[in-house]
Amino acid sequence: MKKSDRKIVYDKYDGHCAYCGCELQKGWHVDELFPVCRNFKYNKEKTKFVHDGTCKYPERLHIDNQMPSCPSCNINKHSLSLEGFRLLIQNFIISLNRDSTQYKIAKRYGLIYEIDKPVIFYFEQKLK
């Protein structure tokens, strides 16, 4: 990606992650809002799957579809749709209550207060 295009993506939300709204730090990611679904192949030498340079929807590799993202949001969203990503985050409360002893104890001691509200992404708030 050209440095000038990266700057355009960075400026879309004034240096904030389009999803969580945090200020972007060095090493921020460019996410595709509508996922490109990169193809991976198993590399025996590296003993892991590596991107093979192709993707299912190459037409989505366009600046209009690219969002500035913090690494955490980009990695968690991976190839999910926006609604899939929203559902993933909404379900974090379910998995924390089911799987995290530390979360459950902190909640019991009143250190965590859950709020039933929809997940609204930073760029969606900016649209209002």
Which residues of the chain form contacts with Zn ion (CB under 5 A)?
17, 19-20, 70, 73
Of 36 and 123, nearer to Zn ion (C-beta) is 123
* Three-state DSSP state, 53: strand
**Shorter beta-carbon distance to Zn ion: residue 43 or 125:** 125
Nearest approach, Cβ of 73 to Zn ion (angstroms)? Answer: 3
Q: Is 47 left (phi over 0), alpha (psi -120 to 50) or beta?
A: left
Minimum gap (Å) between residue 77 Cβ and Zn ion: 9
Alpha helices in the chain, H assignment, sequence order: 3-11, 71-77, 82-90, 92-99, 101-108, 122-127
Considering beta carbons, is residue 12 or 104 the nearer one to Zn ion? 12
